[in-house]
Amino acid sequence: MLSYDKSNRRAQYTKWQSTSLEVIQTITSKLALRFEQSNIADIHNHWLEINDLKYKEKDFNKKLEKSIEKLLYLFTLNILFLKKYEAHDYKEVDNFQKLLSCIDFHLQEAQVNEFPITMYYHELLNIDEEQIYFSLTKIGSDFDLIELVSIYEDVISKRERKDLGKFFTEHTISKFIAALTITKESKRILDPMCGTGLFISSTLELLEQEDFGVKKEFVGFEINSITAEIAKLVFKIEQLEKKYSHEVKILNLDAFNPFIRVRNPEDLFELEYEQQSIELFDVIIGNPAYIRYQNLGQLYKYIPNEFKKAYIEVFDESLNDSKAQGQFINAYIRASLLGNIQNIEHFKERLKSIKKKLVSKRNEEELFWYNIVKGYSGLSDSTVPTWLLAYTLCNQNGQIGFITSNSWINRDYGAMLKLFFVQLTELKYVMDLSNIIAFDDAQVSTSIVITSKKKFNPKNRVKFIKFKQINNQNHNLHFMMKSILIGANCYKDEQNIERQFSNWLETLESDWEDSYVRIRIVEQQELVSELLEENKLLKLMPAQENIKPLVSKKWGDFFQKESSIDTLYRSNKWISINNLSININQGIRTGYNSFFYFKQLTYRELKEKGLIKGNIQTEQFTHLYWEDLYRENLIDIEGLNRQYVNIPTEYEKRYKDYILVTYNYVDLDEKEVRLAFIQKKYLKKAVRSIKDLNHYDVTNEQLPHYIFISGKGILLNDYDHLAKNYTIEEIEGWKNVGLHPFDDTTNAYIEEATKLRVQKNDGIIYVPEMPVLKTYQNKPTLENLPTYWYTLALQSRHIGDIFVNRINYKEIPFVLNDMSKPYVVDANFITITLENLNEKILHIYFAIFNSSLIRLQLEKNCTVMAGGALKIEATHLRRILVPDLTILSDKQLKILSDLGLILKNKKFSDKYIVGKIDRLLLEMLVDTETDVLTLLQEIHGQIESLKNERLKK
């Protein structure tokens, strides 16, 4: 069987690069020259456009080399195949033309966008045929076919892997999922995003070891034509070598293409030709492409034009930029999932129903499915709709098993997926593999879910499985399964350990925990409790009269051991933040920090950056800002390096109105630090990063950053243009409420930014053309002042009374804003705003948020990212529980407020006051001193364990 030997793969790829580099560079340089000299300029431009290179010609050769490498790699694989399996025919090959005629590599015209070099395939044939033939055969003689197949994930670029979610699954994981889903009765098995077929190959290995005696039919869909070619070759080899007795068919197509469910997949591009619906599958397994929502537009080039034309017609929108293409992919997937699409007109109807806010009358089941499809979050990665896709392709009572990112468990976008699992399937296993080495080249914490296509069964027993770290290290799944089986006295031999472990799990009737794994068995009705807290989901859920009320638990809690702490949080002394007058939001997102953010530097810092010349005589003043020095006549305008800054008119009279700040001047690849005089009224102090902070309470004066808030100021040109587009009455009305042109230096700063260029996926644009900045411009009315791309609207949620960093490592401090002069909080933070605020209540909640009782909830329920970072979102904070202040005495509230007041003057590293807060809170929430000490020790132990576990990732 083919498998990817990770220890050998890198060495083989290094060998491939060394052997093939010369011929790749030769072909690349000659093709580049032909682009400039021949009539294939249109092909060249199209290729550049598809590869986002239209304005990045310095990257052209590098990108072209990668495409040539892929083509050369495919040729070499075919040569080795011919040489090994069709030796007689291969002996007759003595030139390039004969060689190519033997290679079974023909892409359909509609698919060449994936691999644009095939558009000028014939041009390639005319470049030194004899030399290419010699090089290809020589390269082929240096490799074994299996070795070459194993390096495919290195041949494709890292960018392509990220854009299309191509992360190749560890061998044991593939076999394990197969063992959990495939039985003797399973006949038809689908991998909807099969890549090079490794998942199917691993499954075949498992089945051959078991010898079910029943021939099974495997189908693999693969959107990437080159990857599909590799997969076809893999299974052609295995078939020739009689490695298995089952049928395997690889189809180069998009799994979301709606005609898959009503047509012969091989005829998908013949849109007028009607076909009967294909047979559904008994088992659907795989490692779905993990594509973040921001990258969905990368799928655009794979979608047949008929669907694009339908979208343009229904939505009346062009598809000329990456943002629009991403929106198209989103609508295309949702429309496809609605199903029953037999022709392009049906597809248009589904698009229209996606576009509508209200739906036509449907029966309960149809309406529920429609709400799931339309309602899942646009922030979801591609694995969420892939689960829904698998459901549509699966037989009733069929099995579905995927390995995916585990972020859906604790992220807000996972709510709709959980509703899908609970209501439309019968869950068997939910596994957290965050401590398992699953992928060689992706730092993604993973999960496995195994479920059946069945309706909601409240008594169904679900096994939640959490593999542990051993000695603070992650291990592979094979090691963990063997260790667990040995500990359970169930291990027999090395053969087919995946099936051994699967059988052991099946027979497990009660919770299990050892040094390697924690398994908790819960009834499916218990999974509903978290969903009932979501108003959006509550409206969608069918009647739950037969489900007894349960104490609310989050899915992430089921991976943890039941403890006395869980009982503590379930008492009536706690209350959800959602039920309080507390608003949780994200800080301000500018859309372009280089324009909106400034930094104020001291004299010494300005001097070090070469932005100021001369010297002041007294060293003790070098830590002061420009304004302080100017006011004391220690420096004058001549002290500035004038080539970097515009001086305000009559500055010596109006200097109190301005602040001298630095900013990052960025024009494509040109970057430098420059100076600007900006009027104070347009600047507000801001905290940009946790690096700006080291205390729980940071005052306005201590922050070095400013953010540009234009308020009612507009560019002079925009001010003059108002007269051309609006009435005198409108303009006078706006002036009366404060609309005014900027002063000269602020105006000059913004005018400079209008000429700066930014590289985007669809080419070079100017800063004001950035999509996010264009949204700041409004259509003014008598009540609404005109706004423009530079009009950053400041809201109360961008300030907040308390805020916390979104990306955290060892510490998770909640910081108090300056109550006397509040500053703006960047989107790097989550803000907490208390309604009906008074200083006592603020200090109480400030103390509570910094307590270990809140820290433990965050460690358990927030998202662990690559590198061990803990990502806190607003949705996480909205779900946490805090002590109910109404049950506390005035004396307790006073002590808690005093502790908050003391804490705000401390550094983040100070644990003493936090310890006193913990002790006080626990004394309020439990009955005896012994309970307090025991619980406190357990809480700190859990926090430390969870923190260390994620930091080891």
* Tally of residues, the chain: 953
Q: What is the pTM of this model?
A: 0.76
Task: Please provide the distance, in angstroms rounded to a whole number, between the alpha carbons at the two ends of the chain.
Answer: 31
Query: Are residues 640 and 634 in contact, defined by beta-carbon separation less than 8 angstroms?
Result: no
pLDDT tens, residue by residue, 883-920 = 999 988 999 999 999 999 999 888 887 889 999 999 99
Write the secondary structure of 643-711 as one string of H (helix), E (strand) and C (coil).
Answer: HHCCCCCCHHHHHHHEEEEEEEEEECCEEEEEEEEEEHHHEEEEECCHHHCCECECCHHHCCEEEECCC
- The answer to whether residue 546 scores a pLDDT higher than 90 is no
Q: What is the pLDDT of residue 104?
A: 54
For 59, half-sphere exposure in the C-beta direction (CA atoms, 13 angstrom radius) is 11
Q: How far apart are CA 703 and CA 684, in angstroms?
A: 10
Q: What is the pLDDT of residue 417?
A: 94
pLDDT tens, residue by residue, 420-471 = 999 999 999 999 998 887 655 545 688 999 999 998 888 999 999 999 988 8
- The answer to whether residue 865 scores a pLDDT higher than 90 is no
Q: What is the pLDDT of residue 549?
A: 42
Closest CA to 399 of 505, 504, 285, 500: 285
pLDDT tens, residue by residue, 358-402 = 555 567 778 889 989 998 988 888 889 999 999 999 999 999 999
Q: What is the pLDDT of residue 3?
A: 54
Cβ neighbours of residue 896 under 8 Å, at least 6 residues apart? 843, 844, 847, 848, 888, 917, 920, 921
Q: What is the pLDDT of residue 44?
A: 52
**pLDDT band at residue 215 using 50, 70 and 90 as cut-offs:** confident
pLDDT tens, residue by residue, 106-147 = 444 434 444 444 444 545 555 556 666 666 677 777 777 777
- The answer to whether residue 276 scores a pLDDT higher than 50 is no
- The answer to whether residue 298 scores a pLDDT higher than 50 is yes
Q: What is the pLDDT of residue 508?
A: 95
Q: How far apart are CA 818 and CA 825, in angstroms?
A: 11
Which residue bears the tokens 């995927």? 402
**pLDDT band at residue 40 using 50, 70 and 90 as cut-offs:** very low
Q: What is the pLDDT of residue 274?
A: 40
Q: What is the pLDDT of residue 119?
A: 44
- The answer to whether residue 834 scores a pLDDT higher than 70 is yes
- Collapse the DSSP code of 906 into the 3-class scheme (helix H, G, I; strand E, B; otherwise coil) and give the result: coil
Q: What is the pLDDT of residue 116?
A: 44
Q: How far apart are CA 31 and CA 41, in angstroms?
A: 11
Q: How far apart are CA 412 and CA 382, in angstroms?
A: 15
Cβ neighbours of residue 838 under 8 Å, at least 6 residues apart? none
Q: How far apart are CA 433 and CA 820, in angstroms?
A: 47
**pLDDT band at residue 403 using 50, 70 and 90 as cut-offs:** very high
- The answer to whether residue 62 scores a pLDDT higher than 90 is no
Residue type, 896: L
Quick one: average pLDDT of 786-803?
94
- The answer to whether residue 636 scores a pLDDT higher than 80 is yes
What average pLDDT does the structure give for the chain?
82
- Collapse the DSSP code of 624 into the 3-class scheme (helix H, G, I; strand E, B; otherwise coil) and give the result: coil
Q: How far apart are CA 928 and CA 937, in angstroms?
A: 15
